[in-house]
Amino acid sequence: RGCKLVGCGSAVPSLQISNDDLSQIVDTSDEWISVRTGIRNRRILSGVFSFAVHMVYDAAAGKDSLTELAVEAAKKALQMAEVNPDDVDLVLLCTSTPEDLFGSAPQIQKALGCKNNPLAYDITAACSGFVLGLVSAACYIRGGGFKNVLVIGADALSRYVDWTDRGSCILFGDAAGAVLVQACDTEEDGLFSFDLHSDGEGQRHLKATMKQNDKDHELGTNGSLLGVLPKGSSYSCIQMNGKEVFRFAARVVPQSIELALEKAGLTRSSIDWLLLHQANQRIIDAVATRLELPSERVISNLANYGNTSAASIPLALDEAVRSGKVQSGHTIATAGFGAGLTWGSAILRW
């Protein structure tokens, strides 16, 4: 049994924040950001503004729910695939920023109107999430008899950005992207191979951990400790060592793609498109150079959206498919990398 990608969709918030807008919040400039990262704009969910972003925009406009974005992207993927929501038997939401700690995927399943109660759950693996979701979908289809699996990558890292840290707040945007992976005959198989890894040792370079001291102590009248009342735990803002993350990505991503190509019995020349997690144009360029792929075969849209974490690959894929760049039968080398640290690649046919 094989599996293939039969539809894609994406959605972004309407509110756009440019590099010039950010330079009103932190000491930075359009030139610094675009030269170092390739990013010029990002979209941000309106309802998640911190006070800093309010300094730029008084009136919040547009969507304020990540779940709504994910539903919109999923609906478009189902439309393109011409698959009825009732025929979906698994919804995988790849996100590190769910709107329910217990998982947001069932809310998406409900909003899509999937009446047969398909399994729906979240996968948390930061910017590698979508590749892991794709591989999970393939495993469910090949081994578990599943037929139509929705894989959604959606993140709102703006909720966890420290808007006073110019080294990280310039990078991120919010978005959702989705693909429909469908069972097919083996000869039509569209997921040739994959290669997945993680390294908890590297967590110190990129993390947003739970706050440890977020508790109120209830004291008795004589000062004795009566109990500890949890205040409502929360997570710290993204803490990142940009240089280390850059070095890590430029080192592991080409290795991983080479391994996946080898497993598929393919060579670099088989790649029609290199579609990496959109973190930084310099990372994308460094990987393309290592793989000796010309820029004409590299998909990049991060100038408009910044790093949208688990959404970046399906968002860029959707734009490339709808613009006619990626066509049926094209081979795509894709790779996600990021917090965890996690990384992974997959060789696909569209």
Q: Does 309 bind ligand ACO (CB under 6 A)?
A: yes
Q: Which of 68, 60, 121, 74 is nearest to 94 (CA)?
A: 121
From 2, 16, 32, 297, residue interacting with ligand ACO (rule: CB under 6 A): 32
Give the separation between CA 256 and CA 295, rounded to whole angstroms: 20
Give the separation between CA 342 and CA 131, rounded to whole angstroms: 11
Could you tell me if 205 and 212 are in contact, meaning their C-beta atoms sit under 8 angstroms apart?
A: no
Q: Does 287 bind ligand ACO (CB under 6 A)?
A: no
Give the separation between CA 81 and CA 48, rounded to whole angstroms: 32
Q: Does 339 bind ligand ACO (CB under 6 A)?
A: yes
From 6, 141, 170, 332, residue interacting with ligand ACO (rule: CB under 6 A): 170
**Distance in Å from the first CA to the final CA of the chain:** 17
Show the binding pattern over residues 46-85: x = contacts ligand ACO (CB under 6 A), - = does not.
Answer: ----------------------------------------
From 54, 167, 215, 219, residue interacting with ligand ACO (rule: CB under 6 A): 167
CB of 330 to ligand ACO, least distance (A): 26
CB of 229 to ligand ACO, least distance (A): 32
Q: Does 2 bind ligand ACO (CB under 6 A)?
A: no
Nearby residues of 120 by Cβ (< 8 Å), 6 or more positions away: 90, 91, 92, 93, 103, 105, 106, 108, 109, 114
What's the length of the chain?
Answer: 350
Could you tell me if 318 and 186 are in contact, meaning their C-beta atoms sit under 8 angstroms apart?
A: no
The conformation of residue 17, written as its DSSP 8-state character, comes to: E
Task: Output 114 or 240, the one with its CB closest to ligand ACO.
Answer: 240
Task: Output 171 or 261, the one with its CB closest to ligand ACO.
Answer: 171
Question: Known catalytic residues?
Answer: 127, 277, 307
Q: Does 330 bind ligand ACO (CB under 6 A)?
A: no
| Chain contacts with ligand ACO (rule: CB under 6 A) | 28, 32-33, 36-37, 126-127, 166-167, 170-171, 206, 240, 242-243, 245-246, 279-280, 307, 309, 338-339
